[in-house]
Amino acid sequence: MDEFMQVAIAEAQKGLCEGGIPIGSVLVKNGQLIAQGHNKRVQENNPILHGEMDCLYNAGRIGSYRDTVIYSTLMPCYMCAGTIVQFKIPKVIVGESQTFSGAREFMEAHGVEVIDLNLAECITMMQDFIREKPQLWHEDIMEL
């Protein structure tokens, strides 16, 4: 498995251990890890602090994002996809989209290359979480 996806998975597991939603993300520029983050909606009582948003926040101002790749353990939602498109991040590598299909078509329609690795580890992590905390999951994806 790609070393950067391993870091994203570790971030997701960190979020789960904190009582949050297990979604992790990393930002890579020129083959170097720039930032990492995880979903902190529960931990920080912040409805927009998804994994990708936390990662980008942690990256800070890096100028252009045109030569970056963002990794996420789960297909980005429309909010995160909108940020990816706005920042002109050209490539997203995703752990899985089986448990949440997200905004793949939106990103691709705006020129973002999306690679879905369909990783069993990511699928199992999300399925277990959804089974154990369905209300929290439905809150996260606004399906209450």
Mean pLDDT confidence for 66-78:
97
pTM: 0.96
Q: How confident is the model at residue 81 (pLDDT cuts 50, 70, 90)?
A: very high
Rounded to 5 degrees, what angle do the CA atoms 67, 104, 118 make? Answer: 90
Per-residue pLDDT tens for 25-49? 999 999 999 999 999 999 999 999 9
pLDDT of residue 88 exceeding 90: yes
Q: Sort residue 30 into left (φ over 0), alpha (ψ -120 to 50) or beta.
A: left
The catalytic site residues sit at 52
* Domains of the chain with bracketed CATH: 3-141 (3.40.140.10)
